[in-house]
Structure 1
């Protein structure tokens, strides 16, 4: 069974602390839909890395990543690590 979830809105320094309270649920997902993300900064990328780290060696798929998020991940050299689609 594939556990899917979706992240929406901003993944920014202001919102990441709120999302960290849900880190257990997010890390339990096998697929996270990012199509509803409207803006991302480095804190948002750090959140995605933390979700990957806490996924207990099970790959999390980040799907439908917006162009701005993919471009930022590419800039920081972590796009391949996050396996964004």
Structure 2
């Protein structure tokens, strides 16, 4: 499972993405789950990071889901029309 930090703003996005992609590549499972439970402070960069993780997972033949996505971030994803690209995972 990939774990998002408590803060994910534009200034942290590149480093966070690098860390998450490394974790994604090291996971042998066919399903990659990002746990966003700790994420409390974010901007739209968080969506960009999650979408790139999804792209990387799919490029590796894996599926991608998000667990505990903050309601405001889910609303932002829906507003941008990408909500269905970040499916909730139990």
Q: Matched residue of 1:35: which SS?
A: coil
The structure 1 segments of at least 4 consecutive aligned residues displaced by more than 4 Å after TM superposition are none
Which 10-residue stretch deviates more, 72-81 or 16-25? 16-25
Q: Distance in 2 between matches of 1:18 and 1:58?
A: 22
TM-score, normalising length: structure 1: 0.81
Q: Distance in 2 between matches of 1:24 and 1:5?
A: 9
Counterpart pick for 1:54 among 53, 56, 66 = 56
Where structure 2 has 5 or more consecutive residues not aligned to the other structure, the ranges are none
**How large is the RMSD of aligned CA atoms in angstroms?**
1.7
Structure with more of its chain in helix, by fraction: 2
Structure with more of its chain in strand, by fraction: 1
TM-score, normalising length: structure 2: 0.78
Which 10-residue stretch deviates more, 16-25 or 52-61? 16-25
Deviation at 1:21, TM superposition (A): 2.5
Check conservation: 1:40, 1:68, Cα contact below 8 A: no
Deviation at 1:77, TM superposition (A): 0.9
